[in-house]
Structure formats: C-alpha cells, structure tokens
Structure 1
C-alpha cells in the first residue's frame, strides 16, 4: 500500500523536481544496475501499433472518422463486447511517437498506450506444459460454483482443471446478468475467458496459472474457508507471453464482473508502466490488486517494476522470503526489493504443488509468493475488512514482525506466512 510508506513525501519532492513526461516513462529504459551478470527481459515495443482509449459517449461514426484521419491500416477491438479501447495499426513508416502525441490531443480520446510485448518472469515445470489439450464445456461446468461472497480473479496463463487435485466446485459462474463473451453459438462464456485464443476455454497450456490458482485454493481450503470463487482470465500464452492490448482487454473484462474484490497479478516487467493500466486500476479503488515484485534481485527503486511499483493505494507488491538454516527468515536470493514498491515478503522459495496424480513440484519465484497474500487477503475480507486499506492494515498487524537486523530496512518489516 504505497500511501503508507514513510518516504512518500520525499518521493513527491523528487518527482516534482526531476519529473518526466508520459512519453519518457513509456519508453523502455536500460538501467546500469542491470549488468551482464544480472540480465533481465525488458519489454519490446511495437514500432507501428498504439492502443486507444475512447472517452464515454464517442459513437461509431466518430470512431470511424478518427481512424480515417490518422490513416489506421487495421484496428482490433477487445473480446467480450468491450468497446472502450482499440488497438490501431499504422504503416511501418509512420513516426509512432509523433502520431501518439497527435492522437492524445483529440477531444474524443481519454488516453493512449504504446503496444509492448511482455514475457512472464516465472517458468513452470515442463511436465505441466502442453498445447495439445483442452477442457470440454461439461468439465468446466462441473467446477462451477453458483455464488459466493468474494471472487478472486487471476490474470495469468489460465487454469488446467485436469491437473488440480481438487474436484469440488470453485469456479466463478458467469450469468446472463453480466456481459457474456461469445465467440459463436457453441463458444459462450462459462467461467472466465481466454484472451489469447478468443474462446471460452481457459485451459492452461503453460502451467503457471494452475500453480498460482492452486496456492490460493490450498490456503483457503486449509483454513476451512469455502465462501469464495476463483475467476480465471487467460492473458498469457503457452510461452508465458502477452501484449499490452491483451492484458488491458483481460483487465477490463475482469473488473466488469460482479463480486470481484481481489485480483492476483503474478507477472511484471520493467520501465514501461502502461498509463492505461494505471488509469484503470485507479478507477477501481475497491479492488485489491496483488502483484509479484520480480525475480532479478533488483532494487525496484532504480528501475520500476510494474504493476507492483504503481503507487495506487489498492496495489500491493509482494517479494519472496526463504528460511535460512530452517529457521531464520531472509529475503530470497532472487527476489526484488524496494522501499516503496515492495510492501510485504511471503514464502516464494521451493513452494510445493501437488497435481492430481500426487506428483510433487517445487517452484520458486515472487509469482508464487503473491497468491498466498491474495488468499490471506480474502480471509480478511470475509472477516469484515472489505476495503484495500483495511485488508492491508490487517496484513500488517497480523504479519510476522521481523527481528531487528534480520533484514535490511528496505525490505520492509513484515512477512506474510
């Protein structure tokens, strides 16, 4: 919860003096702290694509006029009838930065983003990765849960119901009261949506989202919590890759679903913050966003890691801790850190995942620390602490207070177990 950080006033002064333009922060930055011995995957920017967000009330005719005015070669809308944003493609010879500056001056435009391509930071066991399988509609339906007090949405690689050891219903049920996605008569939304393949099967052909979902579900089930549902939203492909447009489409779909109170976002990237994602998160202050902080042993104060470094009051950045000598808590060697960008540490080193055959997988990364915090947040929500500020306060009050000197102060003073 960035507003709770003691150094925020100093940061405000810093940005007032050394502030940069939106155009500056949307470009990838190569920081000197990223050495040859500590390489990272920076996002790649498209040379001829922009994402356009329309103001409310802009009709089809006005949109057509804007596309003609700027010589848009092709445009793409989001799945699921969301018409707030579009991806515009231009001729490769176009000066994309100059074109972006022009479009942002239009009266009917509320914002733009450059199109970036991202790679998820955590890998999954290869035995969980398959691109040849799928879910039947009947299988998805068998996991549907009619209602619950809280819904936890997971923006990730989907979920593989065949690999989970659980057979009880826990999936969010899409109803006619919500705006349902539909690919064709046979492809109507059941639970969640696949924004990679544009269909109703959120099958996880990577494995990452399945493990994240399992961590959340295991924690809640072990605490005898049943009043919850999980909404899987597939925005990363079988290689763990996505784009700004697919991510934004998936996000807008998620926040339009009733009862979504927590969004787990176990992914991240450096230096290209996405002004539209920041804007959309700001528009949903009642939803708590749990984000992993990155796995490069990097100080995120040097080059920010997004979305964990967003300064929204409803965003928590989660790092990973490990046990040294089976007792002492230390920051995991891979985990990123930062005074304002990492709120808590949770266990993300050698996390156990059992599939439906009883096979054990040990996985590590801040991606696997974040879902435990999401589960704990859901427990506090069901206990009556329903706002992001209230939940964060409970996490801090009930977190494990670190013994002085056990971790440097810039890692924070609480861990979530």
Structure 2
C-alpha cells in the first residue's frame, strides 16, 4: 500500500507541472536586525482540550465560554483550537473567562493568542525562481532515515542549489499521515506545500543539512511552515506546527525564533510531553539581554529536553556580542558561532553573511542530530552533545561557560 501511495504521489506531481509556487527572493543587502517581539495580545484565545473529548463535549465547552468562531489545526493536534469570544458572555469578560479556562479540568491550558516574529537577519532579493511540484520530488527520500530533524520555521525551498541529495522526510512512509501531506505541512495556507517565501527557513535548514552531510549522517528534515512571508506567526500557528512535528515522532526540533516575558502554558505542555524523546534546540535571542531576568521563550522553558543556544563571534576564544548575544547563567546553555556566517544565495555570486542566534541554533541542531542514536535516553543524549563543548572564560555569562566549535 505504501508503494502504491508513493506512485500516486509521483503521478500527482507530474500532472501538476503547470502549477508553480513563487518563492520570496533575497539579496546581499541585509535587513536591519530585529528585536525579539514581545507579546502582542489580540482578541483570539488559544485553547487545548484534554485528549479523548468527543466533538459534542467540545461543542458544549465552546457554547459555555461564548465562542463566536473557532479554528482547528489543519494538520496538527486535533485538540488545539483558536477561539474568538464574545466581549461579554453571561456577565464575564474575556479575561475572566480565560482565567476560568486555565482551571478547566477538560482543558490542558488556555492562552491569549499573540504574534511572534522571526528575529534574525534574512538576506533579501535573490530570486530562486518558481518551484514546480516535480522539482520537489527528487529531494524527497525513498526510505526512512536514522534521525529526523523537524524545522519549525518559514518553510523550505527544496530547490536551493546546495541541497544536492534527497533529504526531505517522506510522509508516505509514515504510519499516520494527515491524508495528503508528503514532506511537511504549511500551517499558513493549510496545505501540503511548506514552501519558504521568506528565506529564513531555507537558511536554517541548510545549516542543519550542511552539518549532517559533513558528518555522513543518515538524516532527513521535516519542515513545518508556521511563519508567513514577513516572518510573522502566532501562538496558535506555532502550537499547530509543534504538535505536528511531535505527532510525527521526529528526534530533534529546531526552533529558531522566540518571544519575551509571557509564557504559554500550551507550548510548555507540548515541550513537557516530549521531554523524554525529542530534543528541542532553541535560539536564545538577539537583543543582548539576560534571559534569566527577561525570559525568552521557548528557550527559557525549564525543561530537560531544551538546548538553548546563543550566537557568538568567530574569534578563538569566542565572545558574546553586546546588544546581540543573549545570555543567562541559568537559561542559556551553550554558544555557537552565529555572527557573519557565509551563505551562498546563488552558485555564481560571492556569499552574503547572516547573523543571529537562529543560525547558531540551526548549526547546533545539525550537530546534535549527528550524535543521535535510537533508544538513547534524553539525559544521555544531552550529555553526549555537551561532551564536545569547549570551556572558555569569555563565556561565564552562560550556563556551561562553553561553546561548540561548529
């Protein structure tokens, strides 16, 4: 049946030759470094039901809390929803009802929805050209790999010229699929083409890819597109993408983004549930702040499966960069070179440079994947990654006062 499904997939690709998806282009001129976005609360509320509730039971809860409209994850956790609420319902404000939801025994959690923005440099203005469906197929693996890295980001351009071997996860080989996903999911447009129209996700994915190719690791990458062309997402989209990757049982998830101050009980619950089997590699932020004082999520969640990575310069020994490298003796684990990294946008031009903890995190995720062995306990896996850390007196402001030489 799997082989039949794969043949159908190929036929679908070839029959869709005329359909294209334009990718955003990037040039050598870098955008200004963006600040990590603080919460921008909107009127929507993100809720997560406990597992096992029937649709009728969910409907009763929606009515009880005054839901006027709701959205479900197109290909993620069926219990995660975004609700629009009446301003006043049975005498209670939205804030009062959200407080009640947080104590609701039939819910895992409730958070106000808010915007989240990619906060690392992205080159702009290099045309990658239209992407035909059949051009994606050669980059999809025909067999499962030894390690799977999920990338929660702006998607991926599979036709980027440096992706030279099949490396994308083939969901046709999975026991459980969304029905028509084949190498990831687009949570912005709710379809099975997580094509990058920003550039950030492709750069992040390539830095993971490069680490793994250079170490001859048998790997695959599974992209979940939760950010749009402007590098913008919401808590709901992030939750959908994260839950999708967890359902797919990836081994490592790279999250090169973040927000400050306001924690999310729902995102925290997903990370906690994956604490024993999925390593979450996260960027620490690009504002030069102390994350112990101003929490930066998801890197600041106190979970044993989070590796929080900050960016440092390329000197030996490396140093934190003022106003850019976030730090924190408790909440930032390790440093990786992430300042002025070369990135080739075309084969004919000289590389441009990219900077940010997004890219330091991606390099660390690729390195971690090269160390992965099936069946290894999380604590052992975590320790195995840190065996290669190099101590430095210049990095006393982070937890292990050390860096990975990547």
Query: TM bucket by the smaller chain?
Result: 0.7 to 0.9
1:138 to 119, 134, 137: 134
2:320 to 328, 331, 335: 331
- Residues 113 and 275, structure 1, Cα contact 8 Å, conserved in 2: yes
How far 1:180 sits from its partner (Å)?
2.5
Structure 2: how far apart are the matches of 1:169 and 1:310?
34
How far 1:208 sits from its partner (Å)?
0.4
> 1:105 and 1:399, CA in 2 relative to 1: closer, same or farther beyond 3 A?
closer
How far 1:205 sits from its partner (Å)?
0.7
Is residue 393 of structure 1 aligned with residue 389 of structure 2?
A: no
- Which residue of 2 is the match for residue 156 of structure 1? 153
Structure 2: how far apart are the matches of 1:134 and 1:180?
27
- Which residue of 2 is the match for residue 300 of structure 1? 291
- Which residue of 1 is the match for residue 86 of structure 2? 91
- Residues 158 and 209, structure 1, Cα contact 8 Å, conserved in 2: yes
- Which residue of 2 is the match for residue 272 of structure 1? 262
Aligned with 1:369: secondary structure? helix
Aligned with 2:368: secondary structure? helix
- Residues 39 and 259, structure 2, Cα contact 8 Å, conserved in 1: yes
- Residues 66 and 85, structure 2, Cα contact 8 Å, conserved in 1: yes
Aligned with 1:248: secondary structure? helix
Structure 2: how far apart are the matches of 1:155 and 1:40?
17
- Residues 129 and 205, structure 1, Cα contact 8 Å, conserved in 2: no
CA deviation map 1:236-286 (0-9, x unaligned): 11111000111101111111114x100000001101111111111100121
Is residue 352 of structure 1 aligned with residue 342 of structure 2?
A: yes
> 1:305 and 1:105, CA in 2 relative to 1: closer, same or farther beyond 3 A?
closer
- Residues 261 and 287, structure 1, Cα contact 8 Å, conserved in 2: yes
How far 1:128 sits from its partner (Å)?
4.6
1:315 to 302, 306, 309: 306
> 1:293 and 1:129, CA in 2 relative to 1: closer, same or farther beyond 3 A?
farther
> 1:40 and 1:245, CA in 2 relative to 1: closer, same or farther beyond 3 A?
closer
Structure 1: how far apart are the matches of 2:194 and 2:68?
31
- Which residue of 2 is the match for residue 414 of structure 1? 402
Structure 1: how far apart are the matches of 2:214 and 2:348?
17
Structure 1: how far apart are the matches of 2:270 and 2:397?
32
- Residues 164 and 214, structure 1, Cα contact 8 Å, conserved in 2: no
What number of residue pairs does the alignment pair up?
365
- Per the normalisation by structure 2, the TM-score is 0.85
Is residue 78 of structure 1 aligned with residue 78 of structure 2?
A: no
- Per the normalisation by structure 1, the TM-score is 0.83
- Residues 281 and 365, structure 2, Cα contact 8 Å, conserved in 1: yes
> 1:296 and 1:54, CA in 2 relative to 1: closer, same or farther beyond 3 A?
same
How far 1:156 sits from its partner (Å)?
0.4
Aligned with 1:290: secondary structure? strand
2:47 to 33, 46, 52: 52
List alignment gaps of at least 5 residues for structure 2.
Answer: 1-33
- Which residue of 1 is the match for residue 4 of structure 2? none
List alignment gaps of at least 5 residues for structure 1.
Answer: 1-37, 183-187
- Which residue of 1 is the match for residue 195 of structure 2? 203
CA deviation map 1:280-319 (0-9, x unaligned): 1100121000000000110111110000011100001100
Superposition RMSD in Å: 2.1
Is residue 166 of structure 1 aligned with residue 176 of structure 2?
A: no
CA deviation map 1:301-343 (0-9, x unaligned): 111000001110000110011134xx44211331100011110
1:127 to 122, 125, 128: 125
Structure 1: how far apart are the matches of 2:36 and 2:133?
39
> 1:228 and 1:39, CA in 2 relative to 1: closer, same or farther beyond 3 A?
closer
- Which residue of 2 is the match for residue 261 of structure 1? 251
